Structure 1
Amino acid sequence: MAAAWCRILVVVVLLMSLLGSTAAVGGAVSRPRPQRRPPKKPKVEPIDVTPPAPDIDIQQMMGTWYLLITASKCPYLIKHGTKVEPTVMTLTASSTSDSTISVSTKTRHNHQCWEIQQVYTMSETPGRMTLKGARPEQNTEIVIGETDYTSYAVLYYQKRGKMTIKLYVRSVGELSEPVLSKFEQLSERQNVGLAYLFSFPTYSHCGDVDRNHVINCVPTC
C-alpha cells in the first residue's frame, strides 16, 4: 500500500512539474505587456506664468516693427535658418473693436512680397493676446515680455507647448548690446539657447505686395 501511495505521489509531482514548465514556455499569458513611456513634456515655461511687461500701453505698440532675431526650435528654422527673409510687422488698432488688433506681416516668398494678415484678440491682462486657430488647441498665445516702445520689443509666442521668442526693433539701425544680451538671457530661460537664435536681414524689406499673395494664415513658428 505504501508503495502504491509513493507511485501516486510521484505521478502528481511529475504532472505539476509538466504544468509548471508549460506555463513557463507559454509565458505570454502571465508576462505583462510592455508599456509605452509617456511622451516627455516640453521644457517650456507655460505662457500663463510668463509675465508681460508691467503697465503695457498697447496703443504705444502700434506701428511698424522690424524682426531682428527669432529664438525657436521650430524645425523649419533649424533647417532653413540661413535663408530667412527680411520681415516687417505692422500693428494697427482695429476700427471695429477695442479688443482686437490688426496685424500685417510682410516678407518674401519665392522672390515675391507676401503679406500675412492676422487679428490678435487682447485679454483682460494688458500685454497678453491670442491669435485664434481653427480650434482652441490651435490658438497661439502671445505675451509682450519687454519693450520701451521706441526702440525694441520682445514678444513670446506659444502654440501647443512650444515657445518662440522674437526680438523686434523700430528701426534697422544698430541695437544696444544690453538689449541683445537681455534677449539671449530671456531665451535661455525658455530652454532656447544660442544655437537656436536666428538673425533676420535688416535690409531690402518689402514695400508694396503682390495683391494675389495677400493671405490669412496662422504661423507655424
Structure 2
Amino acid sequence: MQGAWRLVPLLVLGLAWSLQMGPVLPEPLILIQENFDLSRFMGKWYELAVISTCPHFMQRKRGNPVIVALEMQHVASESNFTTTATSFRNGTCKQKSTGYDLTNTPGRFFYYIERFRADVDAFVVHTNYDEYAMMLLLSIEQPSGNKTTTVKLYSRAINVTAAVLDSFKTLVRQHGMSDDAVIMNQNEVCSRSR
C-alpha cells in the first residue's frame, strides 16, 4: 500500500505534462509506396482520373475534364521539388507551378494552396514508376477547418490499362468514395506538353 502512494505524485505529474502538451491526434493510416524512390518518380506524368470529397473541385473539374500534363523536377541537394502543371483551359494552354516539401517519410509530401488557404498532405500510395502512380491528397482549409480527400491517377502516357484503372477504383472505394463519381479526364493535352 505504501508503494502505491509513491506512484501518485508521478501519475499527477504525468497527467499535468500530458495536458500541457495538448491532445495527440493519430496520423491517418495510409499505405505509402514501399521503398519509394523519388528520383524514379520525377519526370513527366499525365493526370488521367480524379475524385474528391470537395463538391466545388468536382464541379469545376466536370466543367473542364482535360488531361493535365505534369512535369516534376527535383534538385538532389534540395528538400523540395517542383511540379509544373500544364492544362488546356478556355482555348489556351495554362501553366502553374507548385512547390512540394519533402518529409522524413519517403513518398509523403506537403504543399500549400494559397487560393483556398489549404495545407495539403500528399501521399504516393502506389506506383510502378514507368506506367502509373496513384496519389492520395488530404487537405485542410483555414480558417474553416474543412477537410477534403482527393485521389488522383497519374500515367506516363495518356492512357492506362483496365487493370490499373480497376486498382485505382478500388483505392477510391477504400477512401469512402464511389468509383462511379470518378472523373476521367479527356484527351485534350496542350501541344507543348506532349
Query: Offset at 1:196?
Result: 2.0
**For residue 143 of structure 2, what is the aligned residue in structure 1?**
none
Summarize deviations over 1:10-50 as a string: whole Å, max 9, x none. Answer: xxxxxxxxxxxxxxxxxxxxxxxxxxxxxxxxxxxx87421
Separation in 2, partners of 1:63, 1:131: 18
Separation in 2, partners of 1:132, 1:78: 19
Residue 188 (1) aligns with residue 168 (2)? no
The structure where strand makes up a greater share of residues is 2
Summarize deviations over 1:111-168 as a string: whole Å, max 9, x none. Answer: 111101110001001000000356xx72111000000000000011111221100001
Separation in 2, partners of 1:79, 1:197: 12
Query: Offset at 1:76?
Result: 3.1
- Percent pairwise identity: 21
SS at structure 2 position matched to 1:52? coil
SS at structure 2 position matched to 1:107? strand
Separation in 2, partners of 1:192, 1:182: 14
SS at structure 2 position matched to 1:158? strand
Query: Considering only aligned residues, what root-mean-square deviation do their CA atoms show, in Å?
Result: 2.1
Correspondence for 2:182 among 177, 192, 197: 197
Unaligned stretches of 5+ in structure 1?
A: 1-45, 210-221
Correspondence 1:136-151 to 2 at 5 A = 138-151=118-131
Separation in 1, partners of 2:113, 2:134: 22
Separation in 2, partners of 1:107, 1:141: 23
Summarize deviations over 1:78-126 as a string: whole Å, max 9, x none. Answer: 434153122111100137x421001100112211111011100010010
**TM-score of the pair, normalised by structure 1:** 0.66
Amino acid in the other structure paired with 1:129:
F
Amino acid in the other structure paired with 1:172:
I
Higher alpha-carbon Rg: 1
**For residue 70 of structure 1, what is the aligned residue in structure 2?**
50
SS at structure 1 position matched to 2:167? helix
Q: How many residues align?
A: 159
Q: Is the 8 A contact 1:88 1:105 kept in 2?
A: yes
Correspondence 1:10-49 to 2 at 5 A = 48-49=28-29
